[in-house]
Chains A and B, each alone.
Chain A
Amino acid sequence: MFLISCPWCGERDQTEFHCHGEAHIARPENSLEMDDAAWGDYVFFRKNVKGVHLERWTHDHGCGRWFNAARNTATDEFLAFYKPGEAPPADLERVS
């Protein structure tokens, strides 16, 4: 059993959650001037890190809320959970 800590519900089993990919991708503000390559980057291209990855999760079967998590993709270890709108913890050992 793999446990995930929802910021609102606490520790729950992973099967209650769903991962939605990389977090902190801001919608570009100059969208009118963007060319296809820039749009392609924004819409399709994601980091594929081996190491600490910041990602979005939802607690589908619990409170239904979105939150962010820092996970090491190599060891599958969760390092932090934080609410949307919050900055990721500063002390994570990033590998990028």
Chain B
Amino acid sequence: MNTFPTPVARTPLADLPLLLGALSLEERPLSGKVSLRGNAGDSAFVEALSARFSGALPTQVGQRVESGQASLWCLGPDEWRLQCELDAVEDTLAQLRDAFGQCHASAVDVSDYYTELALSGQATRDVLAKLTPLDVSAEGFPAGSQAATRMAKCSVLLHMVRDDQAVLCVRWSHAEYLWDYLCEAAREYNH
């Protein structure tokens, strides 16, 4: 009788070698991601989120607020992405759903729907510019900026953590495609 190996939790690019050199590309360990939908004009919804995040709810697309280990990104007029530690997702979901009560809102765990790639090095912006139509110059996209955009043929949430580091949040099934594209784009900088 065939026996199947015990399933092991892994991220989509776990088997690929890291790209290290003047530019490094690595897959980040799985983090917690929660997709939030709701009406920014509904005070019950805003209060439920404000209770967890000190300060006002970001309502400009691209805006991001941080609170401890968690961050909240505004992705659209009625959509946010909450990022937190993987272990905290279950509690966060329970708390938010409880806080939402009767208001028309949803909180969904999308932690393993996306994976994150970190690209670092002096030429980070040059490599990004090969893949996206967005202005990723230091003036147009300063450190700390984030935007949802296109990279090659896939949709990516791009976060410029520092001038020499970007984190790309991409769909699980597109991850290997983007990885290959980034390796190709980075080749000329990695002697």
Q: Which residues of A contact B (CB under 8 A)?
A: 1, 8-9, 12-13, 15-16, 60-65
What is the size category of the interface that chain B forms with chain A? 10 to 19
Q: A9-B61, A9-B62 are in contact. Are A63 and B133 (CB under 8 A)?
A: no
Q: List CB contacts (< 8 Å) of B68-94 with chain A.
A: 75-77, 79
Contacts of B75 in A (CB 8 A): 63-64
Q: A8-B61, A63-B61 are in contact. Are A13 and B134 (CB under 8 A)?
A: yes
Q: Is B143 an interface residue (CB 8 A)?
A: no
Q: Is B31 an interface residue (CB 8 A)?
A: no
Partner pick for A63 among B76, B134, B150, CB 8 A cutoff? B76
Q: Is B155 an interface residue (CB 8 A)?
A: yes
Q: A61-B150, A63-B148 are in contact. Are A12 and B134 (CB under 8 A)?
A: yes
Q: Across the interface, name the chain B residue whose C-beta is closest to A17.
A: B150
Q: Are A61 and B76 in contact (CB under 8 A)?
A: no
Q: A9-B62, A60-B155, A61-B155 are in contact. Are A16 and B149 (CB under 8 A)?
A: yes
State the 7 A-B residue pairs at the shortest beta-carbon distance, nearest first.
Answer: A13-B133, A61-B150, A63-B76, A8-B61, A61-B155, A62-B148, A16-B150
Q: Are B133 and A15 in contact (CB under 8 A)?
A: yes
Q: A60-B155, A63-B75, A64-B76 are in contact. Are A1 and B147 (CB under 8 A)?
A: no
Q: Are A12 and B62 in contact (CB under 8 A)?
A: no
Q: Across the interface, name the chain B residue whose C-beta is closest to A62.
A: B148
* CA gap between A61 and B133 in the complex, in Å: 11
Q: Across the interface, name the chain B residue whose C-beta is closest to A60.
A: B155
Q: Are B76 and A8 in contact (CB under 8 A)?
A: yes
* CA gap between A16 and B133 in the complex, in Å: 8
Contacts of B149 in A (CB 8 A): 12, 16, 61-62
Q: Across the interface, name the chain A residue whose C-beta is closest to B156.
A: A61
